[in-house]
Structures are given as C-alpha cells and as structure tokens.
Structure 1
C-alpha cells in the first residue's frame, strides 16, 4: 500500500509575550497554501496537531492551550509605509477550524524580530545598535502596529532583563504601538462601542441581566463586573477552568454579547467563532497571590482583570485584550474605568492570574464620540527553534 511522504516547510517556533506559535514566511508555504482557503487551514491544523479529540496536540507543534495553538504568516508588505503584512491564525484544539477573526497581541511582539531575522526588512533599515522600527500591517483586522525591536551588533537582541509576568525568564523588551486600535470592520459600522453606549444591560438567558461594556479595541471584548457573576477578580485558572458550569456560563455571556455587538446573528454561531469576542471580568484592586506564588498588592495595581480565551481562563492576559483594557480604562464611565476608580487616565496597571501588566492608551472625544489614537505596551520575544516543520503530503 503506498504511503504519503512527509514534506518539510521552513518555519520558526517563537515565543511572543505570553504566547508561542509557528511562524512562516508566506513565500515558503506550498503554492496552494499561499492564498486563503481550505488547503491553508488544513496545513496549519496539521502543523499544530489539530483537531485532536484527546485535547493534547501530541502529533503537532501545539501546546494544547489557546496560548500555544497559534500560527503566523508574514510577508513583505505591498502597502505604502508598511514593512510587512502579518496574518494570525488561532487554531482550534479539538475542532477542525482555524479562526482568522482577530489578532494576537502577544505574538505581535515576535513579528518584528521574525521579519528582521527572516530577511523581510531592508538591511539598510536595520541599525548596528539601537532600535529597529518595524511597521506591521495586521491583516486580520486591518490595523497598523509599530514594533520597536532592540538590535545589538546588527542582530535582533533577544536576551535581556525585561521581566513579563506569565513568562518564566527575562528577555529583551519589545515596545509596541497599536495605532487606531478600534476595529473598524467589526460590528455596528465599526464603532468602538458598537451599541453606542459605554455600559449596556446585557440579557443572558439562564444568567440574568448584566452590566457590560462591549468595546472594539485591539480585539472585540465584553467586560462584566466580577461581583455580578459571583467572583472577586482574584481567581486563578483552576478556579474557573475546572468548573464546567462556569465555563458554560462564560460562553453563554460571550455568545449573547457577540450578538449585541453585531459580530454574529445568532448565539449558536459563536461556537465557530471562538477567538472573538473575548469575555473578561473586572474588579477593584485587591491583594492576592499570583500563580507564580508572588503576592500582588492592592496598592500596586489599579484594578483586577481576568479574561477567557478559546473557552478557558487565560493564564495571564492576551495582548489584544490588554489593548482593550487600556482603551476602556482611558474612557470615563466604562466598567473597566470605574473598577480602576474612575476619572481620566493615560495608563493602567492591572492584576491578572500571573501578576501585573501596564498598558497605556491615548483617548479623546471627537464630536461626542471617543477615539483612541494609539495603545502602548511592552512585551518580549524569542526564537525557540528554527528549521523545518514536517507534515504528511496528503494532509492538505
């Protein structure tokens, strides 16, 4: 009986922020996978090891969590004033689909370093020492990200003393600017607040009517108050991920919020749109012990935030959700802003399951509508392995 050979495809396995994924140059993919479609999706699922009914992704590069079941495709940009186009795929672990509906803010920090190392940036643009500015077109959501990548001796600097809660070892800091982060193509004509309100009464069958801030910034996100759903905001992963009823409740809230945001027409459609919107809950500052064992003191943070990704409580915070948090915190009257004590602010430090994170946002009103020109945060990135990934030739 004939057997399909394995083919090998150039790839780089990278950590970016608190996520990691498999990075490809578009030109290195098989020809039929260089365009969107079933072949590309099937290839990336096979690379990552999905769909896996065991939920382990043993036969692939995925790590069986939403933070580690990711793929990135990067190409030289044809757009003016941009260096590269960046496309992100969130690969479902146990189902056969790749969600292209949003960005990964954490892996955004690895795109600049990857592009430089992969020869996608003009060598004349890379300084011998200092910072290399990489202008990234985020193709999923049609937004610009500017990455400031440290360079030492003409090469990307990956090691350093920048510490990021949720990542065990220090590394070099990569500063990111998310320009005009409100998602124009998402919901209600592209409004930052698709319902037209900073806080809504969201009716959720079986749960009740919840106060909710639904925002399109970084990634579509639904914020609710922790106290309204029986939590304190200090919860770690096991408190929620080990509770099927809690996970079902969050998914129900997410699905009905997605309908109100105009992202889907019916709650049942949410099952095929796991990556967006995100669901998060907020609370005022409180001292707690993070998953690392470190004590996070109430006086060192502005508020508490917990967020779910792909149906599970995230171990730290998604980068795109951090953009949503920073943006909402900058706008007086949102639930995020109120949890942080209200008023105007240009930055916020919040507590998450692994520790703390600071994110900034520049917000102002134009004709009565809120606009955010940019959100800022720091991450780190590192190449874990590079070479080729192998997949059976008949898998895509």
Structure 2
C-alpha cells in the first residue's frame, strides 16, 4: 500500500434510489472546509464522469452520508447529508436526502451505534441539515440487519427488506415555516407557484404554465433549454421570497412540475435536483408534495381538492409511483409523513485520497 495516500474507512450503500459512501464523523476532518475538500476529492468532482473518484457521474450517485452519535436526547444518531456536485468542486449540506436516509438505520446498527432488537429496530435519526427527527424502522430478525426481502420500490431493481421512514414534524425544515412566504399560492414570472418547506424547500409549478405536459421523460425535460432557463429564473426568485440567500449557488429550493395523474395516482410530478430531472422522486420531495396536497390553497391542493388527514397520496414519477401516508395524532398536531424504502450494503473498505487529514471531535450546528 502506498504511504503517500490517506485512507478512510467507508461503506458504500444504496438508499432508496440513491447511493453513496457512508462515513463516521470521527473519520473525517472536524474543520468543515477541510472535510469538504476531502469529499470533493474522494468523489472525483470537477469531472463529468468523476473519473478520479468513487462518484457515479450523476447527482443521484454523488451523495455522502456522515454519521455520528446523537447530539440530542430524542435521537439515536446524527446524520449529516452532503450533496457533492459532479462537475463543480462544491459540497452542499443545505438539503436533506430521504433516499440516503433509508440506509442510515442499517448502517448505524451494523456499526454498533444502535442496539438491534428482534424482529425490528426503531432508529431515531437526527438530520443535522434540517434539525428534524425521522424514525426509521429496520427489519432485524434475531437482532441482525437483513437486506433480502420482497419489497419493491420504483427506481431500484429487485426486491429487498422494507425500511419504513416516519417524518415526525417535517414542516419548516429549512426556513422554519411550512409556507415561508406566507402565501399558499402566488405568481412568479407569470406562473402560479406554491413555495413550500416540508422536508425540502420546493417551488411547485404547474407544468402547463411552462409550456410542457408534465409527463415527458427526464431526458426530454433536461434537453429543453428554454424550460430549464425559465425554471431556474423562477427558482432563484422563489429562493429570495423563501429567505434562502443566494439560491443560484445552492441546490434549494427544488423546482417541481405538477400535472394531472395518468395512471390512477393523486398527482403526476417531475422533480428537479435542481438542474437535472430526477429519474424517480426524492423522498423529501415526496413528503413535501404530499403535505402540500393536504394544505388548503396550494397549487397541489387545487389539483385534487382538500384531502383530509389521514390519507394516502400517490405521486406518479418517471420510474413509477411513490405512496406517502399522512397522519396526525390529533387535530392540531403536526402531520406525520410515512414512506417505505429499501436499502442495501454494497461494499465496505477504505477510500483513498491524496489530502492528509487530521480528525477531532466534530462540532455541527443544526440548521433548525
């Protein structure tokens, strides 16, 4: 083994329809800038194929999860999500990722951060990006994590053991308000929009207002330069109204195109990350869109009418559909959004970098 390279323990995992390396916080630099430089190198960012790193050349496969012991009493572990850009040498920790979240529970149990129970184990996950707690229920028969199973999710091949995720109070994940601008619906650049912050800050837009049907493939939408330019202009203005400074250099808010369902669902959606259309649907996006459906006056709500909670919202996306269950313990209690995902451990080992690192106790500041 070469002695001029730094090696860091990591586990590559698929979570839902995303994948990326999982690291213990203690194995990474405590300094944020040094950590981000290391992640950029490890993933190979700055090249469209990430040829000199372990990233997959796509936003869905250029994600990182950093796990630590819980910093608050109502959680078992801390989870910091990092979106490492592909062609830019940048790391964005402003959003959460609900798909990668599906692998946090299994990882934490197998790393000994959480004690497993038979037949399943609840892992309370503090998402450091948003300051919110999500409960993951992991199948652990005999006290061991299992990955094999018969649960199928759109956008991932084959079957696997289910991981249920319950977002306990996702509203105001980044801005502190479900409707950051104070309006359920408003206009930007001649289009009706709803600015919503629930698990993920988003700007919801009627597809027809931007000259598309809403059922186009991701490739078709990505190639529509006029659409992408107009949507980016709306997104940046939406960020300003939501109090998200310099949205042009961030991946939030996410733009979402809404249209009538084609296959018996509640809504047809196209979710952008923000400069590529997701080939399926981000879980945080699904949670926010479903909550918007049940929020009177929003654009999503006007498509389907006012659905009372509890309800099941089915969101059609390019790879199939996502079911989001909405419930609440009482009339005025926060809405709990639940989804079922799967995860899989892909490989475990060490990843190499030329950057020397010095690790200390990592200090994070919650975004809440």
Deviation at 1:329, TM superposition (A): 1.2
Counterpart in the other structure of 1:168:
157
Aligned pair partner of 1:304 in 254, 268, 285: 268
Indicate if the aligned counterparts of 2:173 and 2:198 stay in contact, CA closer than 8 A: no
Q: Does 1:379 align with 2:341?
A: yes
Aligned pair partner of 1:88 in 81, 84, 89: 81
Q: Does 1:256 align with 2:237?
A: yes
Q: Does 1:69 align with 2:62?
A: yes
Q: Does 1:21 align with 2:20?
A: yes
Deviation at 1:105, TM superposition (A): 0.7
Indicate if the aligned counterparts of 1:4 and 1:394 stay in contact, CA closer than 8 A: no
Deviation at 1:394, TM superposition (A): 5.0
Indicate if the aligned counterparts of 1:302 and 1:341 stay in contact, CA closer than 8 A: no
Aligned pair partner of 1:336 in 300, 310, 314: 300
Counterpart in the other structure of 2:224:
243
User: How many Å separate the matches in 1 of 2:268 and 2:356?
Assistant: 47
Deviation at 1:4, TM superposition (A): 7.7
Counterpart in the other structure of 2:364:
none
Deviation at 1:361, TM superposition (A): 2.2
Counterpart in the other structure of 2:93:
100
User: How many Å separate the matches in 1 of 2:278 and 2:347?
Assistant: 24
Q: Which ranges in structure 1 are unaligned for 5 or more consecutive residues?
A: 287-296
Counterpart in the other structure of 1:39:
34
SS at match of 1:156: coil
Q: Which ranges in structure 2 are unaligned for 5 or more consecutive residues?
A: 359-368
Counterpart in the other structure of 1:56:
49
Indicate if the aligned counterparts of 1:198 and 1:214 stay in contact, CA closer than 8 A: yes
CA RMSD of aligned residues (A): 1.8
SS at match of 1:389: strand
Counterpart in the other structure of 2:313:
348
Indicate if the aligned counterparts of 1:74 and 1:86 stay in contact, CA closer than 8 A: yes
Counterpart in the other structure of 1:118:
111
Indicate if the aligned counterparts of 1:161 and 1:170 stay in contact, CA closer than 8 A: yes
Write the deviation string for residues 188-237 of structure 1: whole angstroms up to 9, x where unpaired.
xx2210111111112x3xxxx11111111011011011111112221111
SS at match of 2:243: coil
Task: Tell me which moved more, 225-234 or 245-254.
Answer: 245-254
Deviation at 1:334, TM superposition (A): 1.4
Indicate if the aligned counterparts of 1:161 and 1:172 stay in contact, CA closer than 8 A: yes
Deviation at 1:339, TM superposition (A): 1.9
Give the structure-2-normalised TM-score.
Answer: 0.92
Counterpart in the other structure of 1:323:
287
User: How many Å separate the matches in 2 of 1:252 and 1:57?
Assistant: 28
| 1:341/1:239 CA distance change after superposition, 3 Å | farther
SS at match of 2:272: strand
Indicate if the aligned counterparts of 1:330 and 1:347 stay in contact, CA closer than 8 A: no
User: How many Å separate the matches in 2 of 1:195 and 1:361?
Assistant: 23
Deviation at 1:365, TM superposition (A): 7.0
SS at match of 2:107: helix
Deviation at 1:245, TM superposition (A): 2.6
Deviation at 1:80, TM superposition (A): 0.7
Counterpart in the other structure of 1:393:
355
Indicate if the aligned counterparts of 1:106 and 1:379 stay in contact, CA closer than 8 A: yes
User: How many Å separate the matches in 2 of 1:335 and 1:142?
Assistant: 27
User: How many Å separate the matches in 2 of 1:325 and 1:372?
Assistant: 16
Give the structure-1-normalised TM-score.
Answer: 0.86
Aligned pair partner of 1:281 in 237, 257, 263: 257
Deviation at 1:87, TM superposition (A): 0.3
Counterpart in the other structure of 2:203:
222
Give the structure with the larger strand fraction. 1
Aligned pair partner of 2:180 in 190, 194, 213: 194
